[in-house]
Amino acid sequence: MDQIILNQMQFYGYHGLLPEENKLGQRFYVDAELYVDLKKAGRSDNMNDSISYAIVYDRVKRIVEGKAMNLIEAVAETIAEDLLASFDLLQACSIQVTKPDAPIPGHLQSVAVKIYREKEHG
């Protein structure tokens, strides 16, 4: 299946279980892999046959920078549900939400969740 990929979209949000995360906020990175048949767009060279990267970015930004959630799992699920409902051409998506500054005692580059969701049929 063809894909549109938006890598390392960067946002500032207030997600987390700790009160300081909800008050001070922190950086979040989102990767979105959108599974869509791009053959028609490739042949027509017409944006109506694809999915706008700018619109995807804006929808993800609204979620990540919006209402605080406890878990990045919930952030990823909300993004996937929103994108699948918003684009008729989108058949499935893989969403990764990365929290580079997670308040974990110890040394690590980041924590992340990655989910894969398909459009429900019927």
Other Cβ atoms less than 10 A from the Cβ of 99: the count is: 21
Q: In the chain, how many domains are there?
A: 1
17: domain CATH number is: 3.30.1130.10
Q: What pLDDT, on a 0 to 100 scale, did the predictor assign at position 105?
A: 87
pTM: 0.95
Residue 40: which residues within 8 A CB-CB, separation 6 or more?
49
Mean pLDDT of the chain: 95
> Can you tell me which residue has the tokens 């406890």?
70
**Domain extent for 91:** 3-118
Dump strand ranges (E) for the chain.
3-13, 26-35, 92-99, 111-118
Active site positions, annotated: 99
Contact 119, 97 (CB under 8 A): no
Question: pLDDT digits over 9-47, tens only?
Answer: 999 999 999 888 889 999 999 999 999 999 999 999 999
